[in-house]
Structure formats: structure tokens, C-alpha cells
A and B are shown apart, each in its own frame.
Chain A
């Protein structure tokens, strides 16, 4: 790692600014560090002396880190600092619990009304997996967008669970539909004249269950895509940063 890269790495650890703003600040700092280094070299400083000048001017003080964090603090974090300072964890655990209870409750209520929770296991799997996908999508959105994530290595945490849980919900819905169909076919075989009447409950049940799984996959998929796009933008800046450093190391 070059000396200039070390200046930026120190800033990276000191700055509690959420991404993608943090990546922009680091990129700005990196370009200024290079510009300033070039300036002192042109003035006749040797490499070590030019580097010392850069470090003395661009070193991140606690005060600077706090001021930048304050400037880029998201609205939620400002509100929590103002009205619930020191109780951030309690607030977030509370929000998470409310979300879990709300999503599970709403899902269970809707599925009960549609008579989907008929005692077999798979509709429950759909309910739990779909609610889980929505909870994780909401938690990731909260962490990355609302509260703001300040560490790049934590940006992707939990995000892979969103499509995985959607897939579980979808697979369980398809399996449930297939098993119910196999259950409905023998009576329909025995009484072909009543086949439609015998298959109608299966059709309604399967359509509702598959729609719920599809809606979950689509909804959480959109959230997942938007979050991935946001993370990718920050990662692009980070990659550009490290590529440029490699060229100067």
C-alpha cells in the first residue's frame, strides 16, 4: 500500500459517514492527496517530505470526522440523536419487532381469510418464508438507506437472504399446489362429471398461494435490486479508488 493510500485508509476508519457519501469523500480526499503531493514535489520536496506535508494537511482529526458525520447524517439518525440519544439499539429492536409482528400477523390474517392455512405444513412454510423475506428486505433497507451503513464490509450483510427466502416461499407454494393437485385428482377420476367442482377448491387454493409467493418474490425482488444498485454504486467508487492506488503504489 502506498503512503497516500494509507492517508485514505486512516480516513476510512475514522469517518462514520454512511455510504455512498463516504465513498465520495474518500475519492475526493484521494484526489486531493495526490494533487497536494504533486504540488509539494513540484516545489522541490523529496518524496518523504512531500508525504509528510500531505499527511499534516489531510490527516482526519476527530473534529473533522464528527463534523462530516454530522453533515451527512441521515434524517432518522438525526431524529434518534435528538429524541432518543443512547437508546438507538432499543429503538431499532422495537422497530424490528413491530415489523415482524405486523408482517407475520398481516400474512397470517390474509391467509386465514383466504382459507390457505388448512392444517398442512407447506402453506405455513410459505407464510414464514414470505414474511421472513419481507422482514429481511425491510431490515436491509432500513440499515442501508434509512440509518445509513458506514462500513463497506457490512453493506451486503443479510441481503442474500431476501432472494433465498423468496425462493423458499415460491418452492413451498409450488410444492403445496402439486401435492394438493395429486390429492384432488383421484376423486375427480372416480367422478369425471364432478371433476371441475372437485378441482375448483384446489385451483383457488393454489392460485392464492402462488400469487402470495409471486407477490413476495416481485416485491422483495424490487427492494433487493434497488439495494444492490445502491451498493454497486458505492463499490464502483471503491474499486476505482483501489485501482488508481494500485497504479501509484
Chain B
């Protein structure tokens, strides 16, 4: 059995993790700024709701891929700012390769059989 086989259940989660890491590669951000940045950069394609964003942020933080730091205080609302860690950068790089691989294999499967044989021939 191929241990590197595609895990369809984990796919959406990994994609969202990549989106968050990709957004943070551009610099530290608050949670809502990450959501807005992802939406803007994807032309409105990816919309991160609370239900998607916060579990991902907390999971990535627990895994050491991002770190959250509280700023402000003294009667003012404290705000949490997330930044990418070195581990997160490695994961982002590997994740980007993984996404490319998935897309390549997917398009290969989706190609019409005659196109595929044409390519081979």
C-alpha cells in the first residue's frame, strides 16, 4: 500500500492550513486579517469562517508552525497576532509541493483516455 497515498478526508483541512500559512508568509496578522487576506488574494474564492479559521490557527499554534503573541493591554482590548515560525516555513514549502503534486495527479486522472494515450504516444 502506498503510504504517501492521497487522504481525501484530510485534504480540505490541509488546504486551509496552507492558506493560513501562506497568508502569514506575508507578515504577522490578526486572525480576522488572515481571513480577509486569504479572501482577497484568492479573489473571493476562499472564505474563512470562524468555524474554519480558529481551529486551524489553534492547531497550527499547538504544532509550533505559527506563534501567537498578545499585544496591548492596560484597559485596552488585547489582540493576538500570529506569525510564521521556521517550522511553519518548512511546512509551507513542503505543502506547496504537495498541492502541486495533487493537482498534477488529479488533472492526469481527469484527462480523457485518448488525450492520455496521445500524450504517451
Contact = CB atoms under 8 A, between A and B. Distances in A.
Contacts of B80: 27-28, 31
A32 B76 contact: no
B98 to A, nearest CB: 22
A29 B50 contact: yes
A58 B79 CA distance: 16
A34 B59 contact: no
Contacts, number: 70
A63 B77 contact: no
A60 B51 contact: yes
A226 B59 CA distance: 28
A240 B50 contact: no
A59 B50 contact: yes
Contact count band on A: 20 to 34
Given A64-B54, A68-B54, A57 B35 contact: yes
Contacts of A57: 32, 35, 47, 49-50
Given A35-B33, A36-B32, A39-B32, A244 B51 contact: no
Contacts of B78: 27, 31, 240
A54 to B, nearest CB: 9
Nearest to A55: B50
Interface of B: 30-33, 35-36, 47, 49-52, 54-55, 58-59, 62, 75-80
